Amino acid sequence: MADFALGQFASSGTGDIQGQAFRPNVPGPNGSGSPGSATQVFLRNLTIGYNSSNPADRAEKAYIYAVELTSPDQIGKDEYKVAESDNYGDGTGLFGPGTYSRTFHFTGGAYNPALTYYAYFGWDQIANIKSGDPYSGGDAYDADLQEMDASLQFKFDMYAM
- pLDDT value at residue 68: 98
pTM exceeding 0.85: yes
> Tens digit of pLDDT for each residue in 71-90?
999 999 999 999 999 999 99
Give domain 2-160's CATH number out of 3.40.190, 2.60.120, 1.20.58, 2.60.40. 2.60.120
Give the CA count within 13 Å in the CB-facing half-sphere of 116. Answer: 12
pLDDT > 80? residue 14: yes
> Tens digit of pLDDT for each residue in 32-79?
999 999 999 999 999 999 999 999 999 999 999 999 999 999 999 999
Please tell me the distance from the alpha carbon of residue 45 to that of residue 52, in angstroms, as a whole number. Answer: 21
Q: Which amino acid is at 14?
A: T
Please tell me the distance from the alpha carbon of residue 137 to that of residue 40, in angstroms, as a whole number. Answer: 17
SS3 of the chain = CEEEEEEECCCCEEEEEEEEEECCCCCCCCCECCCCCCCCEEEEEEEEEECCCCCCCCCCCEEEECCCCCCHHHCCCCCCEEEECCEEEEEECCCCCCCEEEEEECCCCEECCCCCEEEEEEEEEEEEEEECCCCCCCCEEECCCCECCEEECEEEEEEEC
CA 115 to chain centre: 15
Average of per-residue pLDDT values in the chain: 96
Closest CA to 144 of 75, 80, 81: 75
- pLDDT value at residue 161: 84
pLDDT > 80? residue 124: yes
Domain ranges of the chain: 2-160
pLDDT > 80? residue 130: yes
pLDDT > 90? residue 108: no
